[in-house]
Amino acid sequence: MKTFQLKKEEVKRKWLIVDATDQIVGRLAGKISRLLSGKHNPNFTPHVDSGEHVVVVNCEKIKMTGKKPEAKTYIHYTGYIGNQKRITFQRLLTAQPARILQSAVRGMLPKNKLQDRMIERLKIYAGPEHPHKAQQPESLQQSSAVDISTGL
């Protein structure tokens, strides 16, 4: 019996839409990273980018548990001497809510050449509207490919 190896020409991508309302950042990022990397597919091959396109809406309504909303800080270095910027979760949530979820998902993706290709397929929007209606994205709860309770 031969092992099946997926080729990049055989990849069929779907568009999925995720509502981030009242979701916990880390758990949601874990599910999204699994979808982007293609690990939910039965024909997953580690060296082939076989994930889905994921559209996240309402990311300004995400939450963190415990004392993390006050204690969590995000660090950004501008490239100039002495310009290491720190911003708290609550301030970043009001200024750029998409950056919170994107950094969480990026941290859960594999650290290789496929990471940038995977993160490009992640589209995050603060409100309920998105410009990807032409792609007819399926809701994550309605999709037969992904079970929301197990993440598979």
Domains (ranges, CATH) in the chain?
Answer: 14-63+93-139 (3.90.1180.10)
pLDDT one-digit tens code per residue, 47-95: 999 999 999 999 999 999 999 999 999 999 999 999 999 999 999 999 9
Q: Which pLDDT belongs to residue 140?
A: 82
Alpha-carbon gap, residue 37 to 97, rounded angstroms: 23
Do residues 54 and 129 make contact, with C-beta atoms less than 8 angstroms apart?
no
Separation between Cα atoms, residue 79 and residue 42, nearest integer Å: 42
d(Cα 36, Cα 132) in Å, to the nearest integer?
Answer: 17
* Cα gap 27→33, rounded to integer Å: 10
Quote the pLDDT of residue 102.
Answer: 96
Burial class (CB in 10 A: 0-12, 13-18, 19+), 130: middle
On whether the pTM is more than 0.95, the answer is no
